[in-house]
Amino acid sequence: MATNLDQFLSRVDALLDRVEPWLPEPTATDWDAIAWRWRKDGPQGHRGRGRLEPIRRPHRLRLEDLRGIDRQRAEIDRNTRQFLAGDGANNVLLSGSRGTGKSSLIKALLNRYQAQGLRLIEVDKDELIDLPRIIEQIEDRPERFILFCDDLSFEASESSYKALKAALDGSLSAPPENLLIYATSNRRHLLPEYQRENQDARMIDAEIHQGEGVEEKISLSDRFGLWLSFHPFSQAQYLEVVRHWLGQLGADGAEHQGTALAAAAESAALQWALRRGSRSGRTAWQFARDWAGRQRLSHR
């Protein structure tokens, strides 16, 4: 049954390939936008034409709002400024604990540097196979583009995994100078790691040589020139972020540490984090929004 289905899908794909040259041209890209998503025009699984769909309401995060990650923020900000200046800059892999600001950092960079020509293209993991088509559309543009891949995780056999490896550093074609790839992941090497792969390691002249499975996993993350690691927040860091967001949202008592209201807010914030099982910037923002909303409702 599976074989028949595969044959049918293969025939459909071949038919679509023949029809594609007669399809209408895709809508022209709106280059007045500052951010886009890559969208496929073809059916699921078909290579399609694809287009850059403008994002009309990008997040308006500020770099100053991202607390507890000062070192990571400074590193990616420096790398981005070098990129905008046309100096040496690296593709970046941001990995580590959930909710600690990996994606938010990239969104905040767009907000800060859009006036200097920075633009953002969001690409889903399953559509990374279209990277050559995306590059074709932007390589002659004057803007500087960050291709944003959020929450990446692969199996080694996936075609999008191989396409990303080639785009980073593995193709005969040099990547355009106006493009960098910034990717986030909860996994340092973007692929699942298994105990048996470490057991394949061997000793040669007292040196440990990794097994082929481990080498394959490292080969993708190694193509990112800059690695930034993110770790769970301490209680003090978490409460600092809570106080910041309470202040931004105008919650009562946010700027008056030591008061009964501030103590009540901090106690509630710790209970909120305990229920969520996470002390992170995302958890702090969610608590602050809830706390400020409750206050406004009670004052009506």
- pLDDT at position 23 is 53
DSSP 172: S
Q: List C-alpha distances in Å: 15 to 9, 11, 18, 95.
A: 10, 6, 5, 41
8 Å CB contact between 41 and 93: no
- pLDDT at position 296 is 85
Domain residues of the chain, as ranges?
20-227, 235-298
- pLDDT at position 46 is 46
The pTM assigned to this predicted structure is 0.77
pLDDT digits (tens, 9 = 90+) for 105-151: 999 999 999 999 999 999 988 888 888 889 989 999 999 999 999 98
- pLDDT at position 195 is 47
Q: 97: which 2 tokens?
A: 């604990």
Distance CA 110, CA 116 (A): 10
Q: What is the side-by-side strand order in the sheet with 118-122?
A: 51-54, 35-39, 118-122, 144-149, 179-185, 92-96, 226-230
Secondary structure string (H, E, C) spanning 104-161: HHHHHHHHHHHHHCEEEEECCHHHHHHHHHHHHHHCCCCCEEEEEECCCCCCCCCHHH
Task: Measure the CA dihedral 66/70/76/79, to 10°.
Answer: 140
- pLDDT at position 235 is 94
The architecture that CATH gives domain 20-227 is 3-Layer(aba) Sandwich (3.40)
Which residues in the chain land under pLDDT 50? 43-47, 194-195, 197, 209, 211, 214
- pLDDT at position 44 is 46
pLDDT digits (tens, 9 = 90+) for 71-88: 999 999 999 999 999 988
